[in-house]
Structure 1
Amino acid sequence: MTPSSPQMIKGSNAERSRSSNRQAVLGRIKSAGEMGRAEIARSLGLSTQAVSNIIAELQEDGLLVETGLRSGGRGLPAMQYGVNSAGGYALGVEVRPDAIFTAILDLHGQTVVTRRRTLKSPEPAKVISKVLKLRDEMLAKTGLSEGQLLGAGVVMPGPFGQTGLSGLGSDLAGWQSVDAAALFEEALALPVELSNDANAAAMAERMALGLSHFAYLYFGAGLGLGIVNQGQLVTGIFGNAGEIGHVPVATPKGPLPLEALLSRVSVQEHLGKGPLDIAALGALFAEGDKGMMDWLDGACAALSQAVGLLENLFDPQTIILGGAMPAGVLDYLVAHTELPTLSVSNRADNPHARVQAGASGRMTATLGAAALILNRAFTPQAAAL
């Protein structure tokens, strides 16, 4: 697999600037809720005429609507504009080794419809076939058309490409040599943003919590990490930044990979009961199952080391836990993990908890996949050189 690179805006400098300004206007209105022409122009350093032209285009495209007049004191009341939630939709696709999740979000980031199907084989042709069926089901359910979809965000477990971590059990077998973005673009006939599941989940939490500097530990097939800095993902040159599950931590048995102690795979292996879904794990936790509680002791110790590492490397507002793990287990990890004292985050002036559970639930990566498309719509993209 190869990750999506920032989309290059082709054409002249004037065309690139126009596209960037459209995204900037949309993004500024989205952040404010509603704004008038003059206020937008001042905030972006554009002429009022340029903003008026952009707004007219965005209205024609159905992306903006008039929300009413607002008096600013002197002069005539100014027309306000807001993002039209039904002006377009984003498709999100999450491919796991054993399941596919899909979602459609509107332009306000609200979930319109979701679907989940088990997956017997992650073979590319079978995955594509199932994704197309799920897309068609969701369109039929909502009455939307393919033409209303702005794009598709697709997320998968990393690493992308053939690396020294390939084949260790937490990646998606059979996809390392496939150009996944091109495959999905051809099948869906849509622009595609490809990302690993942890990065997409981090974007969903950014939308939900409004944070701009944080680390997100994602429980998926293994354990992934999404880093958001100044509101943007830190992805690395090949899209593989954040493979924290393979970082060794100290244990009584010697160094072990973090995800050998802190992941769904690790709890299942510790319990020796074979594959367990989230509901089954949640039931064992609720019962106070001894094996589950023993695993949590080791998981808390491993998480404590991971917290110290992340805090001292990235100085985040907070570290968020989420993904495919019961809410009760995540809350237990937050409450019982000893926070390291030797950390730059051990301070009294941060209004955020050092570690907290996420707000987006088990479909956080799926929603984050669609959020990648919304982020592109509202954020000016740098042109490739």
Structure 2
Amino acid sequence: MTGRLDRAGALPGTNLEQTRALNRRAVFDAVRRNGPVTRAELAREIGLTVQGISNIAAELEEAGLIRQEGKRVGQRGQPAVELSVNPQGGYTIGLCLAYRRAMGVLVDLTGEVVASDTCDYAERHPAAITRILHAQTRRLIDKAGVPEEQIWGIGCSVPGTVVNGAFWYDKVQEAEEWTHFPMAGELERLTGHRVILENDATVASIGERLYGIGRVANSFFYLHFTLGIGGGVVTDGHHYRGAFGGAGEIGHMIVKPGGRLCPCGSRGCLEQYVSFYAAAEAVCGPDRAPDEVPAEELAAYCRDGDLRILGWQQQAGQYLRIAIRNIEAMFDPDTIVIGGGLPSELLDGLIAATAPLLPVMAHRSASRLPRLMPAEHASDLPARGAAALPIAMAMQPNISNAAWSRTSKALPEISSPALAILGVATARG
């Protein structure tokens, strides 16, 4: 057998080379999560020798992924050099498709926002909305002035069920046109970058884990309002999608047996009573569909004390109490976080209407966090959560989950030395 050896003596394509890429990813991820960090600390966490860590760190530094921050002082012996992520080592884009609004951010490897963009839209066809997201992507890249080869990918948050890069959404009048629409593939074709599509509740929970309540709560359940209501599950610091990507679909928990018919085929699902759609249904009248009611109109009704909205809040609060108690019984989270696109006036009233919550389970009596908390999010948090998806893919390039599978086979080649050294394929054709 002949072939050209790399400088470590490994034949390209061998298991040894894959192991080296895996070790590089492990070191990079540990620096990203824990930095500034010393080589000795990395060795203890990952289980490699200090010399092995030093060799890998040199490769990552040469690729521009990490950098030396300085020396650790106050310890015995020679001060140890600290390593941290190089923010300019790569960039990701996060897009958030919300109700009548698209939000986007371009962030560096530390998650700091380099450029942001928000646009309202009235279009209702998925192809038109995909073109809006493409235009938003171009604006973000132009604002940031980032070279194309430094962009690791695009994460996109959508309000629907995601399977293999396509999703459907049953809360709009044109539901048939949204059925299994291949948004990831279309957006890849337009932008030339890998696109990872994910359900908005899962993405919101990722954003909350990275930048919000996740700083003090290791396990939580995120209740996310859009036209419907979804959920995201974070356990032991990691988000959980389930076997088919549907973990946390709290909107289809039955809270009133024999109640209203839901598009899922069941009756009495939670989102038939607790959702933006349900709130809008209370005020839209016979001449409009609920998804045609602007959020600002609902907020104004709430401020004016409209009895229709106040009545919805009180009824919805009682059904939400049931859901909260069931979530606690199933997942035993540190807390339940409630957020999303519901106007703050409606959200505050809804939270108030859940009081008093149903009796707490005995083992939760010592919890230091309230059972229900509003999300600690800024306006760009869902998009920042979406921007974390390409990094998650880079850390797990062989992931087989159907929702994150490759969708397009005709992407242009964008050479990324940083991704190459992490063992992530850069050939797009």
TM-score bucket (shorter structure): 0.7 to 0.9
Please, which moves more after superposition, 115-124 or 81-90?
115-124
Query: CA 1:283/1:12 → structure 2, altered by over 3 Å: closer, same or farther?
Result: farther
**What SS is found at the alignment partner of 2:171?**
coil
Answering whether residue 276 of structure 2 is matched by residue 264 of structure 1, we say yes
Query: CA 1:178/1:292 → structure 2, altered by over 3 Å: closer, same or farther?
Result: closer
Answering whether residue 231 of structure 2 is matched by residue 228 of structure 1, we say no
Answering whether residue 342 of structure 2 is matched by residue 325 of structure 1, we say yes
Structure 2 regions of 5+ residues with no counterpart? 1-11, 261-266, 402-429
Q: How does 1:350-361 map to 2 (within 5 A)?
A: 350-361=367-378
Q: Which residue of 301, 304, 307 maps to 1:284?
A: 301
* Cα displacement string for residues 1-33 of structure 1 (whole angstroms, at most 9, x for unaligned residues): xxxxxxxxx954333333332232223223323
Asked if the contact 2:314/2:350 (under 8 Å) is kept, the reply is: no
Q: What does residue 159 of structure 1 align with?
A: 161
Cα separation, 1, equivalents of 2:400 and 2:144 = 37
Letter in 1 for 2:26: A
Answering whether residue 198 of structure 2 is matched by residue 195 of structure 1, we say yes
Query: CA 1:12/1:176 → structure 2, altered by over 3 Å: closer, same or farther?
Result: farther
Asked if the contact 1:96/1:172 (under 8 Å) is kept, the reply is: no
Structure 1 regions of 5+ residues with no counterpart? 1-9
Query: CA 1:237/1:314 → structure 2, altered by over 3 Å: closer, same or farther?
Result: same
Q: Which residue of 239, 245, 266 maps to 2:251?
A: 245
* Cα displacement string for residues 165-219 of structure 1 (whole angstroms, at most 9, x for unaligned residues): 9674269653433444333333322233221111001100001222331111111
Cα separation, 2, equivalents of 1:260 and 1:383 = 35
* Cα displacement string for residues 322-370 of structure 1 (whole angstroms, at most 9, x for unaligned residues): 1101233323333441354455377221111111111124544322211
Cα separation, 1, equivalents of 2:124 and 2:378 = 24
Letter in 2 for 1:219: F
Cα separation, 2, equivalents of 1:89 and 1:41 = 27
Asked if the contact 2:67/2:83 (under 8 Å) is kept, the reply is: yes
Q: What does residue 224 of structure 2 align with?
A: 218
Tell me: higher relative CO, structure 1 or 2? Use CA pairs within 8 A at least 6 residues apart: 1
Cα separation, 2, equivalents of 1:45 and 1:339 = 49
Cα separation, 2, equivalents of 1:230 and 1:198 = 18
Please, which moves more after superposition, 228-237 or 41-50?
228-237
* TM-score for the superposition, normalised by structure 1: 0.86
Asked if the contact 2:251/2:271 (under 8 Å) is kept, the reply is: yes
Asked if the contact 1:122/1:174 (under 8 Å) is kept, the reply is: no
Q: Taking every aligned residue pair, what percent have the same amino acid on both sides?
A: 32
Cα separation, 2, equivalents of 1:177 and 1:286 = 38
Answering whether residue 62 of structure 2 is matched by residue 50 of structure 1, we say no
Q: Which residue of 141, 145, 149 maps to 1:147?
A: 149
* TM-score for the superposition, normalised by structure 2: 0.78
**What SS is found at the alignment partner of 2:309?**
helix
Q: What does residue 304 of structure 1 align with?
A: 321
Deviation at residue 225 of structure 1 after TM alignment: 0.9
Please say which structure displays the higher CA radius of gyration. Answer: 2
Deviation at residue 315 of structure 1 after TM alignment: 0.7
* Cα displacement string for residues 10-69 of structure 1 (whole angstroms, at most 9, x for unaligned residues): 954333333332232223223323011122112211111221122122222222122111
State the superposition RMSD in angstroms: 3.0
